[in-house]
Structure 1
Amino acid sequence: MSKLNLDLLRDFDAGTASAGMPLKLSLDLVHEDPNQPRKAFDAAALGELSESVRVSGIKSPISVRAHPTLSGHYMLNFGARRLRAARAAGLETIPAFLDEAHSDYEQVVENLQRDNLTPMEMAQFINGKLKGGDTATEVARRLGIDKAAVSKYGALIDAPEAVEAVYREGRCTSPSTLYDLRNAYGRWPDEVSAWLRTGVEVSRGSVSALRKRLSDANFLDVSAQTEEADPGSMSTSGGPGAVHGVGGSVRPVHRTVLKRRTAMLRVAVSGREAMLRLDRWPSSPERVVVQFADGGIEEVDAGAIRVLGVTEV
């Protein structure tokens, strides 16, 4: 039988707890979790909260668990802003509930529900979980998000400078749009960089239009180039490629030359047909990038695709 840790009861008020009331803990005993996903705190908003706490106190208890290394101390689960505001307001104690069933996934979900996590903080948390061995499916399930969103948040990790600047400068914070922008940059870095330098609004619609324009310009089935034949290579006697004008003169001709066609792999993903994009780098070796008939590009598990055949483009 494990030994009961009585140190946790040092600040426990049995009278209030029996009535279902929160504990009242000394602020000196409560420590923030260094691994919490939320890293950024708005200074102005925190100042306003501190003033409110100074006048009215803490109305919503924080959540804590036993500190893993300091006996009689507590580690914060939820409520970092309230804890910081209480300290700034000069309080000595704070109301709290003890929750030993806490997990870092619950910490993220709590922040998501309060809309307190930035996209980058979410991306860093997901990246840490994937590196720690959790699958994309497990991460999505435990966070209550779509599996495709896991890949889209990954676009913020180690992004090219041009894409990272878009996020850093506040031009776009949507993981979905930044995911599409990063994919476009991976294929057309010079064109996307030039587009971004114009100061254009970066939105889902504008990025989609950019990708379509660049794709159309490179679509091999309908693109062709004309080249002028070398007059010196033409036969004056009417050989191939020569056209005789009046008086037997030879004039150059323009001929249409189609670009070389390329083989592509057709695959099926959850019943939908797509093309395997080997020119795009996925976020991990176990994943691949596919493009569906509607132009949508997604990252999927390599084991989830079924090869249908080879086609030309």
Structure 2
Amino acid sequence: MTTAATNTVKKAKKQPEAQPPAFGLGLDNIGDLSALLNQPEASGKASGPMELPLDLISEDPHQPRTKDNPGFSSESLTELADTIRLRGVKTPISVRENPEAPGFFIINHGARRARASKLAGKSSIPAFIDNDYNEADQVIENLQRNDLTPREIADFIGRELAKGKQKGEIAKELGKSASFVSQHVTLLDLPDPIAAAFNSGRCRDVTVINELVTAHKKRPQEVSVWLADDSQEIARGSVKLLREFLEDKRKHEYVAPAADDDPVDESPAAQSDTEASDHENAVGEQAPEASADKHDKAPKEANLDKLKKTIVQVRHDDRPARLLLNRRPPAAGYALLKYEDDGQEFMADLSQVQLVALVEG
């Protein structure tokens, strides 16, 4: 490491000066001998991570990930910055000395952690110095990194919920939104046809799976038939078309014709029945005391203070929603909600829900 770089890292405590050797065969020198034996061997490589100032570190202009990489999106970096602000950088980055600028370093891998640390207001970052690193190593490191699958994330969230943690608490620890946690919780109890599509790999998009779950709750038979077609692509666009089709079908459901629209039976028997009915009606018209009974009861006055059909409007994750009262919640403190903007239904922790209004539907 160069002299300038050495000045930027934390200095080790200065060892006390050695005492003059004692004469004789006493045990006075055993402590000094032990210290000498325990001293680390001189090495050109650091034995552990060091706190390097971020202003001495620059990114590799030839790194394999470009500026359009999803990992460099504003949303992704903000989420990572939130976790760093809360927990710090747990995995040190790797850097090498900058041959063109003594005392400065170039990132081998860890550009996202460095960017997010700056967003989090950090002035330094834990780092290993590895000068034996090249561009091929960067590509290999990114290719071999196995990100967590949606199922693995859902299982983790399920274990945390089982410990009694709230969804909002888990979201904060992960640096994700409450809706991210809610969507992954849905994966823990999928309807059979949707579970089959997810587990087989036909669809791994968590948002799409949640949309299918919402559609299945309303039209389980139609959604099951749609999923049974193995040639059917399961993507955001196709599922959106499916939901629009099912909604349009619901609006145009077949309605049985009213009694007045029934075909007229012109048979002699029917005609005589009609004549008898007409005669009874005529007799009825001549009996005012019979018809008077029909008007004896005055209609009830409407209670203007009573809501006929109540809609509970709320806000969840800063989105408008409504409370659904047609399903029993899994535990006290939870309720079924439905987002107003996309119709997604989900179980929510009521401590994360803000009551907005009660309106008549």
Q: TM-score, normalised by structure 1?
A: 0.50
Answer with 266-275 or 164-173: which moved more.
266-275
Answering whether residue 335 of structure 2 is matched by residue 309 of structure 1, we say no
Q: How does 1:186-197 map to 2 (within 5 A)?
A: 186-197=217-228
Cross-structure match for 1:243:
none
Cross-structure match for 2:47:
21
In structure 2, C-alpha distance between the alignment counterparts of 1:209 and 1:282, rounded to whole Å = 30
In structure 1, C-alpha distance between the alignment counterparts of 2:159 and 2:175, rounded to whole Å = 17
Cross-structure match for 1:158:
189
Residue number among 315, 330, 333 corresponding to 1:269 in the alignment? 315
C-alpha offsets along residues 245-301 of structure 1, whole Å, 9 cap, x if unaligned? xxxxxxxxxxxxxxxxx9452312157543323456767653333334433325333
In structure 2, C-alpha distance between the alignment counterparts of 1:191 and 1:131, rounded to whole Å = 34
In structure 2, C-alpha distance between the alignment counterparts of 1:173 and 1:189, rounded to whole Å = 20
Answering whether residue 201 of structure 2 is matched by residue 170 of structure 1, we say yes
Residue number among 257, 262, 265 corresponding to 1:227 in the alignment? 257
Deviation at 1:168, TM superposition (A): 1.6
In structure 1, C-alpha distance between the alignment counterparts of 2:155 and 2:43, rounded to whole Å = 37
Deviation at 1:176, TM superposition (A): 1.5
Structure 1: stretches of 5+ with no match in the other structure: 1-11, 24-61, 64-96, 98-110, 241-261
Cross-structure match for 2:343:
296
In structure 2, C-alpha distance between the alignment counterparts of 1:13 and 1:238, rounded to whole Å = 119
Q: How does 1:1-313 map to 2 (within 5 A)?
A: 14-15=40-41, 20-22=46-48, 114-199=145-230, 200-219=232-251, 225-227=255-257, 229=259, 231=264, 236=274, 263=309, 265-269=311-315, 273-279=320-326, 285-299=332-346, 300-303=348-351, 304-306=353-355, 308-312=357-361
Cross-structure match for 1:39:
none
C-alpha offsets along residues 52-105 of structure 1, whole Å, 9 cap, x if unaligned? xxxxxxxxxx99xxxxxxxxxxxxxxxxxxxxxxxxxxxxxxxxx9xxxxxxxx
On the 8 A contact 2:214/2:343 being kept in 1, the answer is no
Deviation at 1:174, TM superposition (A): 1.1
Q: TM-score, normalised by structure 2?
A: 0.44
In structure 2, C-alpha distance between the alignment counterparts of 1:147 and 1:123, rounded to whole Å = 13
In structure 1, C-alpha distance between the alignment counterparts of 2:335 and 2:196, rounded to whole Å = 26
Q: RMSD in angstroms over aligned alpha carbons?
A: 4.0
In structure 2, C-alpha distance between the alignment counterparts of 1:284 and 1:169, rounded to whole Å = 31
Distance 1:153-1:292 versus aligned 2 partners, 3 A rule = closer
Code of the residue aligned with 1:296 in structure 2: it is G
Aligned length: 193
Distance 1:195-1:280 versus aligned 2 partners, 3 A rule = farther
Structure 2: stretches of 5+ with no match in the other structure: 1-37, 50-90, 93-127, 129-141, 279-307
In structure 1, C-alpha distance between the alignment counterparts of 2:166 and 2:42, rounded to whole Å = 43
Secondary structure at 2:212 match in 1: helix
In structure 1, C-alpha distance between the alignment counterparts of 2:199 and 2:336, rounded to whole Å = 26
Deviation at 1:145, TM superposition (A): 1.3
Higher helix share: 2
Code of the residue aligned with 1:268 in structure 2: it is V
Distance 1:237-1:301 versus aligned 2 partners, 3 A rule = farther
In structure 1, C-alpha distance between the alignment counterparts of 2:39 and 2:235, rounded to whole Å = 54
Distance 1:164-1:237 versus aligned 2 partners, 3 A rule = same
Code of the residue aligned with 1:227 in structure 2: it is P
Deviation at 1:183, TM superposition (A): 2.4
On the 8 A contact 1:154/1:283 being kept in 2, the answer is no
In structure 2, C-alpha distance between the alignment counterparts of 1:148 and 1:129, rounded to whole Å = 16
In structure 2, C-alpha distance between the alignment counterparts of 1:16 and 1:171, rounded to whole Å = 56
Code of the residue aligned with 1:210 in structure 2: it is L
Distance 1:228-1:119 versus aligned 2 partners, 3 A rule = same
Code of the residue aligned with 1:124 in structure 2: it is D
